[in-house]
Amino acid sequence: MAGEPSASDPSVGDRASSDEMWMSLAIDCARAAGRQNEVPVGAMIVRDGKILGKGNNRTIRDTDPSAHAELVAIRAAARNQGDWRLTGATLYVTLEPCAMCAGAIVLSRVSRVVFGAHDPKAGMGGSIENLLQDKRLNHYCEVVSGVHSDESTSLLQSFFRERR
């Protein structure tokens, strides 16, 4: 039938499977954080099929409330490429970004954000507000949510269950 949507477009399928692949690596980063007793959230920044930076939560290790996975990855990516602008890059993160991270994502000009689990208590990628796509700001990201969200959610749930 004519006008059949996305599933028949091979480029959409390719992007979806590469999103899943990169998100799996972000989940590996999240697991590594959990093993160090940090909240298991991981992030990867990718451009043209290459990793620019990655990170996981390290707020306890660094005694730094700003050491969220996204910020660690953004700092690494900017340092690695010698330019603070991450235009054209995709940021993969296992949990919806908070206000601080969404602000840094907008400032760093990341083009695309792919996140896993929604965060109803802090998420600024659509759950509470959508800072990533506020057209009043000078930068606007493409956002894809829910990629491998079950895996990200169960990682977080088991982490907090063990600590209760």
Active site residue 70: yes
Q: How far is the CB of 93 from Zn ion (least distance, A)?
A: 9
**Beta-strand relationship, 50-56 and 90-95:** unpaired
**Which tokens in the block code for residue 122?**
């802090």
- Check residue 98 for interaction with Zn ion (CB under 5 A): yes
**CA-to-CA distance for 130 and 141, rounded, in angstroms?**
10
58 near Zn ion, rule: CB under 5 A: no
Which H or E run contains 136?
none
Report whether 123 contacts 98 (CB < 8 A): yes
* Interface residue with Zn ion, options 101, 110, 113, 124 (CB under 5 A): 101
Beta strands in the chain (DSSP E): 42-47, 50-56, 90-95, 112-117, 142-145
Task: Tell me: does residue 110 bind Zn ion (CB under 5 A).
Answer: no
Per annotation, catalytic residue among 4, 20, 38, 70: 70
Residue span binding Zn ion (CB under 5 A) among the ranges 16-24, 79-87, 101-109, 137-145: 101-109
Cβ proximity to Zn ion: between 26 and 98 the closer is: 98
- Let me know: does 108 contact 76? Beta carbons within 8 Å: no
CB of 102 to Zn ion, least distance (A): 8
In the complex, the smallest distance separating the C-beta of residue 100 from Zn ion, rounded to whole angstroms, is 5
Binding region for Zn ion (CB under 5 A): 68, 98, 101
- Residues serving a catalytic function are 70
